[in-house]
Amino acid sequence: MNTESLLEELGLTKTEARIYLCLLEQSPLAAGTIADLTGTSRSSVYLILRSLVDKGLVDAGAGYSSRFQPAAPDVAFGGLLERGREEQRERERHVESALPDLMRRFETSAGGDGELVEILRTPKLVGDRFDRLHASSQQSIDIVVRRPVQLGGSNQPELDALSRGVRARAVYDHGLMRHPSVADHIGAWIEAGEEARVFHGDLPMKFAVFDGHTVLMPLFAPGVGGVVALIVRSRELCGALSLLFDTLWTASMPIDPDMFRLHHDHQPVTADGSHAH
Residue 112 main-chain phi, psi, to 5 deg: -105, -100
pTM of the predicted model as reported, rounded to 2 decimal places: 0.56
The type of residue at 80 is L
pLDDT value of position 262: 43
pLDDT class of 264 with cuts at 50, 70, 90: very low
pLDDT digits over 49-63, tens only? 999 998 899 988 765
220 burial (CB, 10 Å; 0-12 / 13-18 / 19+) is middle
Query: How far, CA to CA in Å, does 27 sit from each of 97, 141, 156, 254?
Result: 46, 63, 52, 73
Judged against a pLDDT cut of 60, whether residue 277 lies above it is answered with no
CATH 1.10.10.10 in the chain, residue ranges: 3-71
Q: In sequence order, what are the beta bridge partners of 120?
A: 229
Evaluated on CA atoms 55, 56, 57, 59, the torsion sign reads: positive
49 burial (CB, 10 Å; 0-12 / 13-18 / 19+) is buried
CB burial readout 13-26, b (16+ within 10 A) else e: eebbbbbbbbbeee
pLDDT value of position 228: 82
pLDDT value of position 260: 53
In degrees, rounded to 5, the angle at the alpha carbon of residue 126 between the alpha carbons of residues 238 and 185 is 90
pLDDT value of position 259: 57
Q: Pseudo-torsion of CA 134, 240, 175, 194, nearest 10°?
A: 40
CA–CA gap between residue 154 and residue 136 (Å, rounded): 19
- The rounded mean pLDDT for the chain is 83
pLDDT class of 266 with cuts at 50, 70, 90: very low
Q: How many CA atoms lie within 13 A of 51 on its CB side?
A: 14
pLDDT value of position 261: 53
Give the lowest-confidence range in 97-111, 113-127, 210-224: 97-111
pLDDT value of position 273: 31
152 or 88, higher pLDDT: 88
pLDDT value of position 126: 86
SS3 of residue 133 by DSSP: helix
CATH 3.30.870.10 in the chain, residue ranges: 117-262
What is the pLDDT averaged over residues 71-90? 89
Architecture per CATH, domain 3-71, reads as: Orthogonal Bundle (1.10)
pLDDT value of position 224: 57
CA–CA gap between residue 186 and residue 158 (Å, rounded): 12
What is the pLDDT averaged over residues 169-182? 87
pLDDT digits over 101-110, tens only? 887 776 665 5
Q: In sequence order, what are the beta bridge partners of 141?
A: 168, 210
pLDDT value of position 15: 93
Alpha helices in 11-122 (DSSP H): 14-25, 31-38, 42-54, 73-111
User: Domain 117-262, what fold?
Assistant: Endonuclease; Chain A (3.30.870)
